[in-house]
Amino acid sequence: MTTPPRTTTTASAPMTASGRRKVLLAPVTITPAKPLTPSHLKGLLWTDVMFRATAPLADVTYRYSHTTYHLTEQTLGFWEFLDRTQGDLPYASLSEEEIGELYVRFRNGAPAPADALRSYADAAENHGWVHPASERVLRIWTEHYAQLGLHDPGLMEHQPPGIGLEEMIERLAALGMGLDQRSSGGPVFLDATRYGLPLRQIVAADGRPNYLACALRELLPLAPAYDEVVLLYDSELTPDYLLLQRVLSRLGPAVHRVPIGRVPIDGKITSARHGGWHAHTAGALLRAVGTDGDADVRRLGVRLYFVAVLGPGQAQSFRADLLRKSLERAERLLRRVADGPAEGPAGGFAGSPASSAAGSPAFLDDLRRHRREHIHVDPYRLTTSLLGRARRTVDRDLLTTVYL
């Protein structure tokens, strides 16, 4: 989570009219082609707690655009595979598990040629089109988000990146970090070799961009407007995010990487593209937890488990018994707050956490203690503090603004 030295002369981001600093949260996106697994939920819950805990202290933008990453081969290729092999399926009536099974079949086959994907890229890029299978998955995810109390950053919205592929390559070259070999029939590389980092292909010779190229289209135009950029990602993507951190740091902001370990299932870490997730999807978890009970217990309990109990690493396998204990702990915490005196303005979470910026002094001090040298609040430090034996009270504003 270290930040490399800044070597740019770009002016820092202007402070807002309120005098608050500006933070951009940019978590890795999840391909809308499969169910959400415990690893996905962990990343989403970490980001959600960071967003809601930082918003009372700074102006926070939570940038999470599926539109930007639809152009990757794994998404366009899946759409082409469905149309070529499945015909006109009634996607609106399929479950996320059924669509996920089709995605596993796609990933086990040979990739489609670039020419077969061009019409899909044009429809997604220029017309905001989304394949019915991915649209169905995203709609299901919005229901999961609502049940878990997750902030929805625009799952169903068309949110294109600020610049096109060509402009991104030009900006990268202007920073001295682009190597474009297309004139001789080659690919485009991100070149950070001067910093001891390897060359990384970002655009294939046939013109297809990878995930990192899409991230650069998204973040290059955004980063200069912020004091701090926070990149949250699967720890297995660390090499790419070291590169991304290096590029964005040249634009002025402090850039922090927050790697989040995956959640093993029975001691094994596997990608969702390999299947085997049927008993551990978000839908299965919610059915096991129950959606008819106390929503506050459910929302606090899953955050205690996925953030505090599992922690930032990936040593602990998913355990339903520990999740149940976290729900029990959440119920006790909420009961303690309900039975005790109010420690500031009461009231539930309403929409964006920015609406709760004027919390009690104890609440704001609690958040500041868990920032360390950053502007953003560390979700792990903050959440584990709720479980400390020495903690006798829990501020009502903290729970309603950050966890419920």
For 70-118, the pLDDT digits (tens) are: 999 999 999 999 999 998 899 999 999 999 999 999 999 988 999 999 9
Q: What is the pLDDT of residue 279?
A: 82
Spatial distance between the Cα atoms of 235 and 258, rounded to a whole number of angstroms? 8
Q: What is the pLDDT of residue 87?
A: 85
Pairing of strands 22-27, 228-234: parallel
pTM greater than the 0.85 cutoff: yes
Residue 94: count other Cβ atoms within 10 Å of its Cβ.
18
Q: What is the pLDDT of residue 201?
A: 98
Q: What is the pLDDT of residue 275?
A: 61
Q: Judge whether 301 and 323 are in contact, CB under 8 Å.
A: yes
Spatial distance between the Cα atoms of 218 and 275, rounded to a whole number of angstroms? 30
Residues of the chain with pLDDT under 70: 1-18, 271-275, 291-292, 338-359, 389-393
Work out the angle between the directed axes of helices 282-289 and 320-339 (0-180°, nearest 10).
50
Q: What is the pLDDT of residue 392?
A: 59
Which residue matches tokens 């990739």? 111
Percentage of the chain with pLDDT > 70?
A: 87
User: Six-digit token pair at 127?
Assistant: 């017309």
Burial of residue 305 (CB within 10 Å: 0-12, 13-18, 19+) is buried
Spatial distance between the Cα atoms of 396 and 341, rounded to a whole number of angstroms? 9
Q: Judge whether 40 and 82 are in contact, CB under 8 Å.
A: no
Please name which of 91, 153, 198, 150 lies closest in space to residue 298, comparing C-alpha atoms: 150
Strands of the sheet containing 188-190, edge to edge, are 178-180, 188-190, 200-203
Burial of residue 62 (CB within 10 Å: 0-12, 13-18, 19+) is buried
Domain boundaries, the chain: 292-403
